[in-house]
Amino acid sequence: MNDSAILQTLVPINALTPANYQELVAAAQIATAPKGEVLFKHGATDNDAIYLLEGEVELIPADSRLSRIIVGGTEEARYPLAQLKPRQYTGKTKTGVKFARVASDLLDRLLTWDQVTGEYEVTELAEAEDAEWTMQVLRNKAFQMLPPTNISELFARLESVSVKAGQGIIKQGDAGDYFYLIKQGRCNVARKAEESGKVAVLSELGEGKSFGEEALLSDAPRNATVVMITDGLLMRLSKGDFEALLKRPLVRWVSPSETKQMLKQGAGLLDVRTEDEYRQGGLKGSLNIPLYMLRLKVSGLDPERSYIAYCETGNRSSAAAFLLSERGFDVHVLKGGLAALREAREVAASGAGSTPK
């Protein structure tokens, strides 16, 4: 039996739908280890679910007595080794082994979405012909952070809008009124520079992508213009519904003192103000990516690192956090922004990487 076939028999991986199983397999690590190697230690709080595929592993408790031997291919090996955290055993190989390592949080997230929005329930959210698009939207990293009840309500409140090629959907400078999801068609996102008046195309968006959230999150005018490239169909959510169903559960605020602690643990600072604002004073060690450039420069961020986004008041940084959450980043927002720091001055005590320039 090949590795993929074995993985399909493991618990609870065997409960995943085919699409989510493929996502898990793509992220899983298959590895080997020689006899005598420690796979995990007693008391560890790691994020791994480790499955034994071949060979033998000894599970040793803290008192070194009453150890257990797990043999690959048996019923017992269908379950993660010593999965309870902190781990109650040290896992040491008795023979050469082959094992699979899966991120526990990813497995739990995929299982949650299968239970809540499985194939039998997708038809309740959309017509049968819309099921593929619905699942595409649900795989958006930000949507996967939402409470299940918000998802059902969100799809119930979406309004469909037919659009034509060349039609402007939102205009730079206008007030924000709707959040949009592209169901059919493609569009360009462009921005006009204030000084030169030149228009630059920032990105092209296709089916399953979204736009219009920045103005709703920051309570600022639209920072770009969106024009359809093709005929299409958009699904839109009103500002009030967006606030209740998406913004509140997705934007995670942190205080200056919490920011201080996260910086000590290795989090990065992301300044989303304009270049001119940043030159006038930011936080040491911070990376400046203006909000309107975030889609273009997101590839320069480390997906394995946590970030704290900030601006002057917290409005633009909340929009940045939403955009980055959609792309799978772990992002928090400094509550009150730099204005709060000027009053509290708590972050300054954390030293390099967090004090004003």
Q: pLDDT band at residue 160, thresholds of 50, 70 and 90?
A: very high
Specify if 356 maps to a domain.
no
Specify if 125 maps to a domain.
no
Q: Contact 81/72 with Cβ under 8 angstroms?
A: no
Specify if 276 maps to a domain.
yes
Distance CA 31, CA 182 (A): 40
Residues 72 and 177 in one domain: no
pLDDT value of residue 168? 96
Percentage of the chain beyond pLDDT 90 is 40
Look-up: residue for tokens 């008041």? 313
Residues 7 and 100 in one domain: yes
Specify if 174 maps to a domain.
yes
Residues 242 and 260 in one domain: no
Q: What is the mean pLDDT of the chain?
A: 84
Distance CA 41, CA 48 (A): 12
Residues 238 and 151 in one domain: yes
Residues 176 and 276 in one domain: no
Give per-residue pLDDT as tens, 28-51.
Answer: 999 999 999 999 999 998 889 999
Which of 36-45, 196-205, 244-253 comes out lowest in average pLDDT?
244-253
Residues 282 and 201 in one domain: no
pLDDT score of 354 more than 70: no
Q: Contact 133/208 with Cβ under 8 angstroms?
A: yes
Specify if 176 maps to a domain.
yes
pLDDT score of 356 more than 70: no
Query: Residue 325: enclosing H or E segment and its boundaries?
Result: helix 315-326
Residues 98 and 205 in one domain: no
pLDDT value of residue 101? 95
Q: Which CATH number characterizes residue 344's domain?
A: 3.40.250.10
pLDDT score of 344 more than 70: no
pLDDT score of 127 more than 60: no
Contacts of 129 (CB under 8 A, 6+ apart): none
Query: Residue 180: enclosing H or E segment and its boundaries?
Result: strand 178-184
Q: Which of 247, 277, 293 is the last residue of a domain?
A: 247
Residues 101 and 135 in one domain: no
Specify if 119 maps to a domain.
no
pLDDT value of residue 305? 93
- Find residue 30's DSSP bridge partners: 100
Asked if omega into 148 is within 30° of 0 (cis), the reply is no
Query: What would the mean pLDDT of 251-278 be, rounded to a whole number?
Result: 89
Query: What would the mean pLDDT of 278-291 be, rounded to a whole number?
Result: 88
Please tell me the total count of domains within the chain: 3
Percentage of the chain beyond pLDDT 70 is 88
Distance CA 198, CA 209 (A): 26
Specify if 32 maps to a domain.
yes
Q: Which of 206, 224, 247 is the last residue of a domain?
A: 247
Query: What would the mean pLDDT of 306-335 be, rounded to a whole number?
Result: 87
Distance CA 23, CA 28 (A): 9
pLDDT score of 57 more than 90: yes
Q: Which CATH number characterizes residue 194's domain?
A: 2.60.120.10
pLDDT value of residue 118? 46
Residues 136 and 240 in one domain: yes
Residue-by-residue DSSP string for 81-127: TT-SSS-SSEEEESS-EEEEEEEHHHHHHHHHHHHHH-HHHHHHHS-
Query: What would the mean pLDDT of 275-289 be, rounded to a whole number?
Result: 87
Q: pLDDT band at residue 98, thresholds of 50, 70 and 90?
A: very high
Residues 234 and 261 in one domain: no
Residue-by-residue DSSP string for 273-291: S-HHHHHT--BTT-EE--G
Q: Which of 75, 107, 139 is the last residue of a domain?
A: 107
Q: What residue numbers bound the domain in which 274 lies?
A: 251-350
Residue-by-residue DSSP string for 3-36: HHHHHTTSTTGGGS-HHHHHHHHHH-EEEEE-TT
Cα angle, residue 16 at apex, residues 12 and 22 outer, rounded to 5°: 115
Specify if 49 maps to a domain.
yes
pLDDT value of residue 248? 78
Give per-residue pLDDT as tens, 67-92.
Answer: 999 999 999 999 999 988 888 899 99
Distance CA 227, CA 192 (A): 13
Residues 204 and 236 in one domain: yes
> What length is written for the chain?
357
Residues 136 and 232 in one domain: yes
